[in-house]
Amino acid sequence: MKFKIKFADQIVGLFIVIALVALGGIIIMLGINQRWFAKNYYFKTVFNSSTNLAAGTAIFMKGFQVGKIDAIRLNDANMVDVDFYIYEEYYPKVKENSLLELSVSPIGLGAQLLFHPGLSDQLLAEGSFMYTTDSIEGQIIIEQELVAIPVKDDTITRLLSNVNPVLENVNRTLVTVNRTLTEVNRALAGQSTGPLGTIVGDISATTARLPATIGNVNDTVAMLRARIDTLMNQVDSLLSEAQTSVSNVNGITGNLEQTTAALRDPTGLIPRLLDPEGSIATFLDDDNALFNRVMSIIGQVEQSVRSLQQIVTSLNGEMPQIASVLNETKVAIERAQDVLEGIRNNPLIRGGITEQATQESLYNSMREGNF
């Protein structure tokens, strides 16, 4: 007989018993893991809404699950009554002034129900009411620092805490911009009497005058263009003259170069001048005869200058007399002119005077015109 057939009862029994033991073990482990046999401490609280709340929602404290929501219901005051419990091992942390907080993820990643232990020494009695952080009483407890609320140090919360003031500033800026745009619109519609309205009116008037101004500007530009053309012509002529001057300078420079070359020439002018046997050295080596001669000529010239100075001084003294003589001479000449004119106009003696023959001088001075 086959083994399985012979021991069918034993095999089947073992087969079933093992399954039952495994099933029982799993259920017992499930019960232990899910705290079926542990004592829980029940409390109550109230939320404004049941959103993100449900029976079985876990309650966390610093990342540890410390309890669960047992039941929720809508009460007569349209608030949400929540019954919840705290595990036995965490009950010593449930002090008076403890709070519950429904922390909703700002980026839509769900919500967490957080437990914040109070700082009192007294345990909160089982069945007591526990405030939420949203409630007025909860806010008072937080302000009085009667509860230990840890700082939320996750990145998103920190970012949001930084972003919020920026957003408020942006909001204020947008409100200001909106008001400004409204004022601008009113000013453009001619409804504003403020400075902006005045400015807009002035701009409108200026715009009206703009075509005439542009005509004036065009005329001015045309005139300036003519002047600039003239100036440019002058500049051209100046440049041509400058070019001529530059060519002259070039000639001078060429001469200077030649002179410099002559000076550098060992057989040139300077060595000849400095030659002890040359004409200049001979001319200068005359025992001061030339010097003395020059000095005597200078002395004579000095005497002549002094004589001339004396003559000029005496002439200056005679100048009034000379001036009066000249005036009298001038008067006499004028009178003689009048006489001659009278004679010429007299018909009786017109043509009555014999012409005199002129005798030319044999000596022609160098100053005469026809020399």
Total residues interacting with other proteins, rule: CB under 8 A: 18
Q: From the CB of 26, what's the least distance to other proteins, in Å?
A: 7
Are 140 and 99 in contact, with CB atoms under 8 Å apart? no
Task: Indicate which single residue of 1, 3, 9, 209 sits in contact with other proteins (rule: CB under 8 A).
Answer: 9
Nearest approach in angstroms of CB 103 to other proteins is 18
Q: How many CB atoms lie within 10 A of CB 78?
A: 8
- Tell me which amino acid residue 185 is: N
Tell me whether residue 10 or residue 247 sits nearer to other proteins (CB atom).
10
Among 1, 3, 6, 22, binds other proteins (CB under 8 A): 22
274 lies in the site for other proteins, by CB under 8 A: no
Torsion angle defined by CA atoms of residues 122, 125, 131 and 133, in that order, rounded to the nearest 10 degrees: 50
Which of 1, 3, 6, 16 touches other proteins by CB under 8 A? 16
Question: Residue 84 and residue 99: Cα distance in Å, rounded?
Answer: 13
Binding of other proteins at residue 34 (CB under 8 A)?
A: yes
11 contacts other proteins (rule: CB under 8 A):
yes
C-alpha dist (Å) from residue 371 to 52, 95, 360, 367, 368? 137, 146, 13, 7, 6
Which of 22-30, 128-136, 156-164, 281-289 is the region at the interface with other proteins (rule: CB under 8 A)? Answer: 22-30
Residue 38 binds to other proteins (criterion: CB under 8 A): no
Place of tokens 């509860």: 147
Least separation in angstroms between residue 36's CB and other proteins is 9
Cα–Cα distance, 126 to 91 (Å, whole number)? 9
Which range in 17-25, 94-102, 112-120, 353-361 contacts other proteins by CB under 8 A? 17-25
User: Smallest gap, in angstroms, from Cβ of residue 163 to other proteins?
Assistant: 22
**C-alpha torsion 204→205→207→212, nearest 10:** 170
The beta-carbon contacts of 149-154 under 8 Å, at least 24 apart in sequence, are: 149/99, 149/101, 149/116, 150/62, 150/116, 152/103
Positions that interact with other proteins (CB under 8 A): 4-5, 8-9, 11-12, 15-16, 19-20, 22-23, 26-27, 29-30, 33-34
